[in-house]
Chain A
Amino acid sequence: DTEVTQTPKHLVMGMTNKKSLKCEQHMGHRAMYWYKQKAKKPPELMFVYSYEKLSINESVPSRFSPECPNSSLLNLHLHALQPEDSALYLCASSQAQDYNSPLHFGNGTRLTVT
């Protein structure tokens, strides 16, 4: 079982909906990440939070809005998404945002935009 918990596991939303993805870890990690993965493609980095502050935004469209309420929680708020945003959204955490801290992934949220 993964120590990074993501909810929900599956989400279907319309293009006018607002929804949120949630991620929680209790490993004391201080860096948390959102990745997006399309079928048969590698994970693509979206956002990184380090010590609860946004450290990397990979030019993600504003319809995706991350939030890190505390060191254990990471949210991704979704609004006015497009069908091409359908993908597996992966949350990950690491001890720190440094070169020797491996990422540990949650099980992902499979998002379908209709």
Chain B
Amino acid sequence: QKEVEQNSGPLSVPEGAIASLNCTYSDRVSQSFFWYRQYSGKSPELIMSIYSNGDKEDGRFTAQLNKASQYVSLLIRDSQPSDSATYLCAVNRVGGSNYKLTFGKGTLLTVNP
């Protein structure tokens, strides 16, 4: 089982719709979870972090975490064409005695005008 798994997509939604991005992880002791957005040819940009079970909202973005199910998701409300990008789920794991961030393969989101 891969450490961090995401559907690679592409996920296509119409403008104004809700985009739902999902991620599962294998290591039960993982403690922190991040969503990064990466436009083509650019570097990853942090958009959300979540550390405890439940929902966390920031503007049009909501991150959801369920540690029992080892599942984290990102909802984007009122999707805009500018949201079209690859969304990377990242999980902070302990490697030896040190924390390191491991990324999923990313989900390509396309928002159609």
Chain A residues whose CB sits within 8 angstroms of the CB of B106 once the complex forms: 42
In the complex, whether A34 has a CB less than 8 A from a CB of chain B is no
Complex alpha-carbon distance, A2 and B42, angstroms: 11
The smallest C-beta distance from A86 to any residue of chain B, in angstroms, reads 15
State the B residues within 8 Å of A (CB): 31-32, 34, 42-46, 49, 51, 88, 90, 92, 95-96, 98-106
Specify which of B31, B43, B103 lies most central, judged by the most chain A CB atoms within 10 Å of its CB.
Answer: B43
> Are B98's CB and A97's CB within 8 A?
yes
Nearest CB on A from B40, distance (A)? 10
Interface of B is mostly: strand
B96, B102, B104: the one contacting A45 at CB < 8 Å is B102
Q: Which residues in A have their C-beta under 8 angstroms from that of B42?
A: 107-108
Q: A42-B88, A56-B95, A100-B32 are in contact. Are A106 and B43 (CB under 8 A)?
A: yes
Other-chain residue from A99, A100, A102, A106 in contact with B46 (beta carbon distance below 8 A): A102
Query: Which residues of A are interface residues toward B (Cβ below 8 A)?
Result: 2, 33, 41-45, 48, 50, 55-56, 88, 90, 97-100, 102-108
Q: In the assembly, what is the distance between CA of A72 and CA of B111, in Å? A: 38
| C-alpha spacing A106/B43, complex, angstroms | 7
